[in-house]
Structure 1
Amino acid sequence: MSKKQHPIIIGIAGGSGSGKTTIAHELYDQFKTDRIRIITEDSYYKNHPEMSMAERNKINFDHPDAFDTELLISQLQDLLNGKAIEMPIYDFTTHLRSPETVHVEPADIIILEGILVLASEELRNLMDIKIFVDTDDDIRLIRRQRRDMAERGRSFDSIIDQYLATVKPSYHQFVEPSKRYANIIVPEGGANDVALDMLITKVRDILRRNDLAEKEA
């Protein structure tokens, strides 16, 4: 990492199933370098071991209060200051935080992705580029259904029940309004090749500028 350039944080927000994670990984995969790190807001769900599984299942995971935003902000500040962090691991099958962590070293570019990363003013203040992925409700629901059944052991009925009870209302109350803070709005997520090409070009320019600054240092 360049010693002269401040790390850049790119925030990518959007509803569950919008394609924000796809965009984050497409950006990373274009370069495949440890100069880029991905931080997921999902890793920072609050831990509730004192609750039963039935109680944890009732948590509104799309509400700002579900996240340990204080820890996320603290760890982002550590990365900005050149310090490594231990990123939490959240187990979506048990709704508990794993005792293990992921060691994350500082980098030139930090991609922060999550449904509510633009909803927090403190998080926004750390970002250099703010992106909102804007995808139709029906498409997001279909994507969420496929993901949760394949990766999180969820039943079709439980996914629909949760979507109607908390996911959709919270999206319109908390997630969608945060779109107004975005520098860039990307319709249709990872399927938007034009927007993705623009973001890839921007990341390439940031890395190139850091290379030049390092040579001049």
Structure 2
Amino acid sequence: MKSNKSAMIIGISGGSGSGKTSIARDIYEHLKNQSVAIMPQDAFYNDQKEMTMVERKAVNYDHPNAFDMDLLYQDLLKLKQNKAVDLPIYDYEHYTRSDKSLPMQPARVIIVEGVLLFVDERIRQLLDIKIFVDTDDDIRFIRRLKRDMAERGRSTESVINQYLKTVKPMYHQFVEPTKRYADVIIPEGKSNRIGINLLINQIKAVLSK
């Protein structure tokens, strides 16, 4: 659905397991009648088909260089201009981009969420509202452990090793410092109903103007 108005892009960032995806889905449910779509930054991990499986597993996936920021920026720019894009699909089991893509139509509101979303200045400038979900390290680790084992085929040992080696140090080096760019900070993620409801009401107010 094309519109003369540029799309509103809401960016949600925070550490792995902070509750970004839950909050994105919550906002989505409350804005269904506004024409809304969700885009995960995780879809934009680099295509690594030319690498061996050993090389793929050795990649630091919590570093900004693990993402195709150029493609993410270009797709967000197209969506803001009410143009459709082909969203990449990342294959977690094979540590590379899938051969398939997902057609994504323009919408009045685009919700994009990701750990390193605020690192790139070009992307920050496209975001109309920037939300940082601030959740304790221990809670985030427990959530990540459950998710990666249930949804991404990871073993307990591999999740723990990755968390200690890259996830936690990269969070404090790259993710947490981007909190200063946020327009809104939501402590404790999805359990903070008051903060989320205030945020949703504010978004509705902006959209109604």
**TM-score (normalised: structure 2):** 0.96
Q: Which runs of 5+ in 2 are unaligned?
A: none
Match for residue 127 of structure 2? 127
Q: Residue 204 of structure 1 aligns to which amino acid in structure 2?
A: K
Q: What is the alpha-carbon distance in structure 2 between the residues aligned to residue 181 and residue 107 of structure 1?
A: 25
Q: Which residue of 1 aligns with 2:35?
A: 35
Q: Deviations over 1:83-129 (max 9, x none)?
A: 10000000111111111111111111111100011111111010111
In the TM superposition, residue 30 of structure 1 has moved relative to its aligned partner by 2.0
Match of 2:176? 176
Are the aligned partners of 2:6 and 2:82 in contact in 1 as well (CA < 8 Å)? Answer: no
Q: Percent identity?
A: 51
Q: Which amino acid aligns with 2:36?
A: I
Equivalent residue, structure 1, for 2:88: 88
2:112 paired with 1:112: yes
Aligned-pair CA distance for 1:2: 7.2
1:212 match: none
Deviations 1:157-187, CA, capped at 9 Å, x for gaps: 1100000111011000000000011011110
Match of 2:21 in 1: 21
- Structure 2 distance, partners of 1:129, 1:141, is 27
Q: In structure 2, what is the Cα distance between the partners aligned to 1:98 and 1:34?
A: 31
For 1:151, give the aligned amino acid.
E
Residues 1:59 and 2:56 aligned together: no
Q: How does 1:151-170 map to 2 (within 5 A)?
A: 151-170=151-170
State the AA in 2 paired with 1:28.
Y
Higher alpha-carbon deviation: 80-89 or 31-40: 31-40
Q: Alignment length, in residue pairs?
A: 209
1:194 equivalenced with 2:194 (yes/no)? yes
CA distance in 2, matches of 1:205, 1:98: 39
3-state SS in 2 of match to 1:132: strand
Looking at structure 2, the residues matched to 173 and 21 of structure 1 have their Cα atoms a distance apart, in angstroms, of 22
Q: Structure 1 residues 47, 2: closer, same or farther in 2, change over 3 A?
A: closer
Q: 1:195 to 1:48 in 2, by over 3 A?
A: same
* Paired amino acid for 2:54: A
Alignment of 1:46 onto 2:46? yes
Q: Distance in 1 between matches of 2:30 and 2:56?
A: 38
Deviation at 1:33, TM superposition (A): 4.4
- 8 Å contact 2:11–2:111 — kept in the other structure? yes
